[in-house]
Amino acid sequence: MSSVWLSDLDNLYLNSFCFGYRQDGSFDPYYLAYMLRSQSVRENIELLAQGISRFNISKGKVMEVEVPVPMMAEQRAVGALFSRLDSLIALHQRKPDALKTVIKSLLDNILV
């Protein structure tokens, strides 16, 4: 439902079903990314959806959704915490593939 581009890019093109928001510095970008994906904010956005076969939400309505705004230091701490958690999750998701590769290599060497 949401994606946050964390790099600075002057010419970014979005399709007609997407809209962009360039923040003014009042949010830590990592904090904002996680908040936009939080259950409470997503539920508030889902309430705005209109349509029968395809749901649409206007940019104006999404901009009215309230996102908690703690002090910047807390935003940075929350953003850094979730970023580290994402890194750990990705690392643990790669472990089974690495283990399978090691096992395959061991079996190949044993059976030679």
Read off the pLDDT of residues 14-58 as tens digits, 9 standing for 90 and up.
887 787 877 788 889 889 888 888 898 889 888 888 888 888 888
pLDDT at 112 over 70: no
Q: How far apart are CA 27 and CA 68, in angstroms?
A: 10
What is the distance between the terminal CA atoms of the chain, rounded to a whole angstrom? 50
Read off the pLDDT of residues 68-102 as tens digits, 9 standing for 90 and up.
889 999 999 999 998 899 889 988 888 888 788 87
Q: What is the pLDDT of residue 50?
A: 85
Q: What is the pLDDT of residue 18?
A: 81
